[in-house]
Structure 1
């Protein structure tokens, strides 16, 4: 099952998400990848096997692009590695993105512990159930 996956990280977390993407390249390579601005560019340069579709930088509209994908059921997983110790000028955009992820049942991981659980889960290869498909979700045996 090919998924649409976004990779995003705040500035101080970019080196860590690059290392994480390298570590999980064998799983990520099978899916459609998206990255905001610099995060996508840096991962693409550091992990040449990963083909990442670039979006705008988060503060310049990349967060909204991801939000639109979520609303349309076109994003299955959002790996958004947040730096909780650094104030973000576009914090309202980040909160909106996380709210949409929750509302539309998009898997979201904001730290590496959760990201590892998501990518190592047996459900990672299963079809994603979006908010429009809740009847299927209720019948799903996990």
Structure 2
């Protein structure tokens, strides 16, 4: 392990259902990833009620790098949005962990939607599931010289895992660039699926690389507006597809926004199992690190 761990700055908030119970997602994250937090020493910028829960359940005893933000109703979430876009390296967030309960209406408030959108625009990981947050800590610790956590090995046996690859029209070329750059890693997955057009383009890429063996490299579902997102959501709910790389274009109005939310909602419903990556920068780093972890 590196003698001097870098300091990250992470925004942290959990919906009420994910922080009140002894087996809640917040408890599982901060107890299961405690050794990673202690090695990385991130500064955790925590919205009021979530920090209250951390203290009441004694989840990070003695941890020095906790900063309180106001309660959500007093603007705490809005301040996280501002810190996400802040250019000052002493203030800006490196990632946001927002453990979202899919039936909590506060996750659809404007500040919650804006937080994710700005993370996508500025290339900051937006981690809305327990599995996604656990994986982020594991991969960043690995990148900083830590040994793999053997208790997580099953998640990184890619030959038993599925991944969904989805991209909006303006992002399809970026998806192809990522897929070509990280083809060897993606090729290790047991299966790959995608919505219509993206799936066809990825299969063309695979044929260029693998010849005829790449013809069915990706299983294409319907296009997103015609229900492809819903088909992949079912795979997530049945725990047949753990990871989704969904390159979103945050700058255009999307007529099938409900379908996109359905896919994310499915991942958050099985929060301890599934994770979504939504931007090119984190997707690129994630594929690099998961390739190292899988070895």
Q: TM-score range by the shorter chain?
A: 0.7 to 0.9
Runs of 4+ in 1 over 3 A off after TM superposition: none
Which structure 2 segments of 5+ residues have no match? 1-156
Q: 1:34 aligns with which of 178, 193, 202?
A: 193
> Do structure 1's residue 69 and structure 2's residue 238 form an aligned pair?
no
> Do structure 1's residue 108 and structure 2's residue 273 form an aligned pair?
no
Which SS does the other structure have where 2:199 is aligned? helix
Deviation per CA, 1:43-100: give whole Å up to 9, x if none: 1112323511111111111000011001100111100000000111100110121121
Deviation per CA, 1:88-140: give whole Å up to 9, x if none: 110011012112112213121000122123222358539xxxxxxxxxxxxxx
| TM-score, structure 2 normalization | 0.41
Alpha-carbon distance between aligned partners in 2 of 1:79 and 1:99, rounded to the nearest angstrom: 15
Q: 1:118 touches 1:124 (CA, 8 Å); kept in 2?
A: no
CA gap of 1:98–1:27, structure 2 versus 1, over 3 A, is same
Alpha-carbon distance between aligned partners in 1 of 2:249 and 2:206, rounded to the nearest angstrom: 22
Larger radius of gyration: 2
Alpha-carbon distance between aligned partners in 1 of 2:241 and 2:260, rounded to the nearest angstrom: 16
Which structure 1 segments of 5+ residues have no match? 127-142
Alpha-carbon distance between aligned partners in 2 of 1:62 and 1:69, rounded to the nearest angstrom: 11
> Do structure 1's residue 57 and structure 2's residue 248 form an aligned pair?
no
Q: Which has the higher contact order (CA 8 A, sep 6+)?
A: 1
Alpha-carbon distance between aligned partners in 1 of 2:293 and 2:203, rounded to the nearest angstrom: 22
Q: 2:294 aligns with which of 125, 128, 141?
A: 125
Q: CA RMSD in A?
A: 1.7
Alpha-carbon distance between aligned partners in 2 of 1:68 and 1:124, rounded to the nearest angstrom: 27
Q: Mean Cα displacement is larger for which, 96-105 or 67-76?
A: 96-105
Q: What is the aligned partner in structure 2 of residue 24 from structure 1?
A: 182
Alpha-carbon distance between aligned partners in 1 of 2:285 and 2:204, rounded to the nearest angstrom: 26
| TM-score, structure 1 normalization | 0.82
Q: What is the aligned partner in structure 2 of residue 9 from structure 1?
A: 167
Q: Mean Cα displacement is larger for which, 55-64 or 93-102?
A: 93-102
Question: Mapping of 1:69-88 within 5 angstroms?
Answer: 69-88=235-254
Alpha-carbon distance between aligned partners in 2 of 1:118 and 1:4, rounded to the nearest angstrom: 15
CA gap of 1:84–1:25, structure 2 versus 1, over 3 A, is same
